[in-house]
Amino acid sequence: MEAEADRHRRDEQKSVGELRQALDWDRLIVPDVVVPAGDWASTSAKDRHVMAAAKASDAGVIVTRNVIDFGIADLNGAGLVAAHPDLFLAATMSEVMYIETLEAMAAVRRRAPKTPPTLHAAFASEHPRLFKRMRALFPNVEPEVTQSPPAEVFRGQRCLICGQGRATEAVTDGICNECVAARAPK
């Protein structure tokens, strides 16, 4: 998986090996897992190692732009869910965490967008759910043009908020009916 991450990094970014050493990740990172033949047959062959690592680490959630690559039966059998980053962040990120993240990003950026409001507007392009959820924090900020939404943003039977297993019908876009009701304005 490190090789795949390194393939996607930009020239100015550190390799996974450099980050591993600088941040002492060896005690935190799950070692590569060998996937037995025949396991997770409904999941894309190139992503079965991701399923194996997530299960081995008791992660619960696989955050990926390629939700459709993970078989529903495989996810359910492993006790996992797959969620698009936009859905995951919109469901789990607090307003305080969002503001702190934007401020931290703005503090180190050298080029635009480099203020919390302009970063918020830029996030709308790839994270429209997150933008909508956090819109009240920046009421006068208009979203940058959003891309076409992915075909699927969630697969699995566990709620992203409470983590409880629910019947498939009771989980809509990764959040169970009880959590939707609990988050609704009163």
In a 3-state reduction of DSSP, which class is residue 126?
A: helix
Provide the number of structural domains found in the chain.
2
Q: What is the 8-class DSSP label of residue 32? A: P
In a domain, 19, yes or no: no
- Residues 40, 79 share a domain: yes
- Residues 132, 98 share a domain: yes
In a domain, 182, yes or no: no
In a domain, 172, yes or no: no
In the structure, what pLDDT confidence band is assigned to residue 27 with cuts at 50, 70 and 90? low
- Residues 94, 128 share a domain: yes
Q: At what angle do helices 116-126 and 95-108 cross, to 10 degrees?
A: 110
Pick the range with the lowest mean pLDDT from 11-20, 39-48, 83-92, 114-123.
Answer: 11-20
pTM for the model: 0.79
- Mean pLDDT value across residues 159-163: 87
Q: What share of the chain in percent tops pLDDT 70? A: 87
Please report the pLDDT score of residue 186 as a whole number.
66
- Residues 63, 39 share a domain: yes
- Residues 95, 76 share a domain: no
Please report the pLDDT score of residue 168 as a whole number.
55
In a domain, 184, yes or no: no
In the structure, what pLDDT confidence band is assigned to residue 172 with cuts at 50, 70 and 90? low
In a domain, 126, yes or no: yes
* Domain assignment of residue 115, given as a range: 90-137
Closest CA to 158 of 65, 59, 89, 66: 59
- Residues 116, 133 share a domain: yes
In a 3-state reduction of DSSP, which class is residue 183?
A: helix
In a domain, 21, yes or no: no
In a domain, 47, yes or no: yes
- Residues 102, 74 share a domain: no
- Residues 100, 60 share a domain: no
- Residues 70, 35 share a domain: yes
Dist. CA 120–CA 130, nearest whole Å: 9
In a domain, 174, yes or no: no
Please report the pLDDT score of residue 15 as a whole number.
83
